[in-house]
Amino acid sequence: MPSPKNNDPNPGRNGEPAREATVSLRSCRVRLKPPWRPQGVQEEVEVNVVEARELSPPPGVEPLHWMVLTSLPCESLAQLKRIVARYAIRWWIEQYHKALKSGAGIEESQLEQGFRIENLLAVLAVVAVRLVNTQWLARNRPDEPVEAQSFGVNALKILSAQFAMPKGGWTNRSVLIAVARLGGFLARKHDGMPGWQTIWRGWSVLMCMCQGVEILNESAKRCG
């Protein structure tokens, strides 16, 4: 089978730099026996197995080897590549869940009724996606200028008043660090990138400050 190339922009394993890997793909169908349960014997499950194995890893580097179980069809190379591509973005899916759990603390809401949890999740999911996108830009396009209309004009003005605008203007990396500083991130040289708790606390503070600015602006208009 031809070996497609998998470009992974995510951080490498164990602090290794990201790299391009050429892998071979193959698949088969297997039948899985369920574990024992007190309720009795469960039915067996048929799934497809996709193996991605790196062909020529760099010297001294552990070769990439994925074994993925899936219910998706695996009858063509295009289908196999689609499955591997989906698995390759698992890191960002994990970041999304961390944004919801560690950041927003959705599990700590203690809501008892299902529809209330669904309503809360509908709101927080949008915010979590935006924060994950902000983190992605800070990691992969750190020096790219931030668009004021996209991020929020008032939000950038508040960050500039709080921390002073960087010499080259706000970039994806500097704006994320500034938001995290509002949440308690110290931003020392050895601290690395901020975690979800400080990012979420900082974002909450920033949104409250933006709301305050909007209220004051509306009050000034009415007074005028």
Residue 124: count of CB within 10 angstroms of its CB = 18
Q: Give every strand in the sheet of 5-7, ordered side by side.
A: 5-7, 20-32, 45-54, 65-70
pLDDT per position as a tens digit, 93-138:
899 998 998 888 888 888 888 888 899 999 899 989 989 999 999 9
Instruction: Map out the domains of the chain with their CATH numbers.
Output: 5-88 (no CATH), 93-223 (1.10.740.10)
Looking at residues 134-143, what average pLDDT do you find? 92
CA–CA separation, 8 and 96 (whole Å): 18
CA–CA separation, 64 and 66 (whole Å): 7
The predicted pLDDT at position 138 comes to 93
Model confidence pTM above 0.75:
no
- Phi and psi at residue 186, in whole multiples of 5°? -85, -25
What is Dmax (Cα atoms) for the chain?
A: 75
- Phi and psi at residue 165, in whole multiples of 5°? -70, 135
Q: For the CA atoms of the chain, what is the radius of gyration? A: 23
